[in-house]
Structure 1
Amino acid sequence: MSLIALDYFYTLIHLLIIGFNLFAWAFPATRRLHLYGVAVTLACWLILGIWYGIGYCPVTDWQWQVKEQLGEQNLPNSFVKYYADRLTGFDINPDFIDGLTLGLFLISISISVYLNFFRKKNSQKEQCK
């Protein structure tokens, strides 16, 4: 596989993971899987982050290795920052991007936990009446 194709592949994987982490809670068929997906993401950010830095993403690490081989330099720590800059043409503050990413991620986790654990209990109580 060429490096350019590999770069596109990692971009697709990133976008699928981000989309899944943000929205898979919305579909009953993927709610439980969403909980596992965000748990894996959180484990990478926090557990692998002990060794590689908080917020570490192995997919970003692999993609940045490819991008460096393609000649890109001064890559940010965040895939979201990189693509937000590319899409807007601006150099967006990385702290803003990290805060937005974390905030949306935590909202998604909160909704998922509610739908997977608390809403089921409330629905079961209502059905018993």
Structure 2
Amino acid sequence: MMDFGLHIANFFFYAFHTGLIFFNLFGWLHPRMRKLNLISLLVTFGSWLLLGFWKGWGYCFLTDWHYQVLRLLGERDLPSSYIAFLIEKISGWLPNAELVDSLTVSLALLALLCSFWVNFRNRKVKDKSV
């Protein structure tokens, strides 16, 4: 029975964490999702930087929780990057860690800048029309 719960948790983390990554990257494109996207990105960067101060740079609590479940299911030698983990699961190829980390941070920063821009640009437009 415990094994079934671990498999459910594993499925949840695959779906939720992967969905969150795509939402962080592209959620700013949808006007109704922009504020939530900005909050999600700020929580993500907070985890990477603030929690990372104690746990190691780039720490993600979702990755940590998912990896705990995967270890209980027998997975070993998990890469430090969840993105690298997903790439390996999908393609069988484990990319270079530095490349994955650089692309992850670069794309996340770009998404954060876009999210700030669309959130605060709209506020300026609304302020001018009042």
- How many Å separate the matches in 1 of 2:122 and 2:99? 32
The Cα shift of 1:123 comes to 6.3
Among candidates 26, 49, 59, match of residue 62 of structure 2: 59
Matched residues, percent identical? 37
Q: Which ranges in structure 1 are unaligned for 5 or more consecutive residues? A: none
Among candidates 21, 28, 31, match of residue 28 of structure 1: 31
- How many Å separate the matches in 1 of 2:89 and 2:67? 15
* Per-residue deviation, residues 17-56 of structure 1 (Å, max 9, x unmatched): 1011011100111111111110111100000001111111
Q: Matched residue pairs, number?
A: 127
The Cα shift of 1:91 comes to 2.0
Per the normalisation by structure 2, the TM-score is 0.90
Comparing 58-67 and 84-93, the one that deviates more: 84-93
Look up the SS of the partner of 1:2 in the other structure.
Answer: helix
Aligned position for 2:9: 6
The Cα shift of 1:124 comes to 4.9
The Cα shift of 1:6 comes to 1.0
Structure 2: which amino acid aligns with 1:18?
Answer: I
Aligned position for 2:89: 86
Look up the SS of the partner of 2:123 in the other structure.
Answer: helix
Aligned position for 2:40: 37
- How many Å separate the matches in 1 of 2:94 and 2:85? 9
- How many Å separate the matches in 1 of 2:71 and 2:39? 31
The Cα shift of 1:2 comes to 1.9
Among candidates 111, 121, 124, match of residue 124 of structure 2: 121
- How many Å separate the matches in 2 of 1:13 and 1:89? 21
- How many Å separate the matches in 2 of 1:51 and 1:3? 27
The Cα shift of 1:122 comes to 4.7
Q: Which ranges in structure 2 are unaligned for 5 or more consecutive residues? A: none
- Matches for 1:66-105 after TM superposition, within 5 Å: 66-105=69-108
Per the normalisation by structure 1, the TM-score is 0.90
Comparing 115-124 and 104-113, the one that deviates more: 115-124
The Cα shift of 1:120 comes to 3.5
